[in-house]
């Protein structure tokens, strides 16, 4: 064997260590929870329903405000116009559905012998 190809013990140790390190994968992760941040909840906005035309007329007042949606308490809407009023009661669950964009239909109180249907889409 030729002396040109002989490694010293130290050279052999360094070369072996470098060969091992060349195959190591290094992974860097952040601290804490690695899940992506949740998308922010969009702010509530007023939701206006449509009032059906019954007995030859319709009414106004079918708007649930953003504050009412956020509070989540049951409410009663007062539908006005045409010389008389109707009311439409909405439960907490119905307000949650309206806020989420789910269709909700609600019959009004009876006045002057008829009702109206309030629809939120």
Residue 5 above 90 pLDDT?
A: no
Say yes or no to pLDDT of 26 above 70: no
Q: Which residues pair with 76 in a beta bridge?
A: 89
Output the six-digit token pair for 102.
């789910």
**Helix boundaries (H) for 27-106:** 66-71, 92-99
pLDDT in tens, 28-76: 666 666 677 888 877 889 999 999 999 999 999 999 999 999 997 999 9
Please say if the pLDDT value at position 1 is more than 60.
no
| Cα distances (Å, whole numbers) of residue 50 to 66, 97, 106, 107, 119 | 17, 16, 11, 12, 5
- The answer to whether residue 104 scores a pLDDT higher than 60 is yes
For 86-90, what is the mean pLDDT?
97
Between the CA of residue 60 and those of 53, 81, 88, 117, what are the distances in Å?
A: 11, 7, 12, 12
CA-to-CA dists, residue 88 to 4, 15, 20, 61, 106, angstroms: 99, 84, 76, 10, 7
Q: pLDDT grade, residue 27 (50/70/90)?
A: low
């Amino acid at each position: 064997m030729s002396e040109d190809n002989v490694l010293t013990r130290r050279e052999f140790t360094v070369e072996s260590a470098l060969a091992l390190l060349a195959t190591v994968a290094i992974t860097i992760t952040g601290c804490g929870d690695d899940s992506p941040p949740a998308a922010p909840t969009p702010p509530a906005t007023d939701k206006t329903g449509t009032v059906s035309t019954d007995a030859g007329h319709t009414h106004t007042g079918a708007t649930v405000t953003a504050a009412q949606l956020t509070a989540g308490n049951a409410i009663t809407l007062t539908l006005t116009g045409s010389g008389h009023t109707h009311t439409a009661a909405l439960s907490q669950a119905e307000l949650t559905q309206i806020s989420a964009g789910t269709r909700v239909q609600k019959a009004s109180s009876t006045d002057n012998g008829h009702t109206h249907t309030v629809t939120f889409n």
